């Protein structure tokens, strides 16, 4: 059965917030900047036409709106899409691997607050 956005949402372990911030990420070979699409306490989606391969470890650096903190978090690419024709966005999902307890708390609070500010989504009627 092909993956759908609804099935993907069901698999998510943590709530996420839509946020566009610059994310710098570094691998052994590269240092690149791109923009996020959303974030949760467990990871971030980065919009990029050239995502890193699956299981690639990256070092992330980013800030979130209204927080006076620069996050530096180790992560691993767990989802990737390079096809603009796909129903999924082009980019990569990065799972946080090593997160300081204070960072977990700050990101979780940001997601919760940002989620309250988003208007409720209404399902389209068939």
Contact 49, 39 (CB under 8 A): no
CA distances from 3 to 6, 38, 72, 91 (A): 8, 19, 31, 16
The closest alpha carbon to 77, from 104, 95, 101, 59, belongs to 95
Q: pLDDT tens digit string along 73-95?
A: 999 999 999 888 888 889 999 99
- pLDDT of 122 strictly over 50: no
Q: pLDDT tens digit string along 11-46?
A: 446 777 889 999 999 998 889 999 999 999 999 999
| pTM, rounded to two decimals | 0.79
Mean pLDDT, to the nearest integer, of 47-61?
95
The closest alpha carbon to 93, from 9, 6, 2, 1, belongs to 9
Domains of the chain: 16-117 (2.40.10.220)
Three-class SS state of 60: strand
């Amino acid at each position: 059965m092909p993956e759908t956005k609804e099935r993907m949402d069901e698999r998510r372990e943590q709530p996420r917030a839509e946020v566009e911030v610059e994310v710098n990420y570094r691998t052994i070979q590269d240092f690149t900047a791109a923009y996020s699409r959303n974030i949760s306490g467990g990871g971030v989606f980065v919009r990029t036409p050239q995502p890193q391969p699956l299981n690639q470890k990256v070092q992330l650096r980013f800030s979130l709106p209204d927080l006076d903190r620069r996050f530096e978090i180790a992560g691993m690419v767990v989802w990737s899409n390079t096809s603009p024709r796909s129903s999924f966005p082009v980019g990569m999902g990065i799972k946080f691997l090593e997160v300081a307890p204070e960072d977990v708390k700050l990101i979780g609070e940001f997601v919760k607050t940002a989620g309250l500010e988003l208007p409720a989504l209404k399902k389209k009627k068939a």
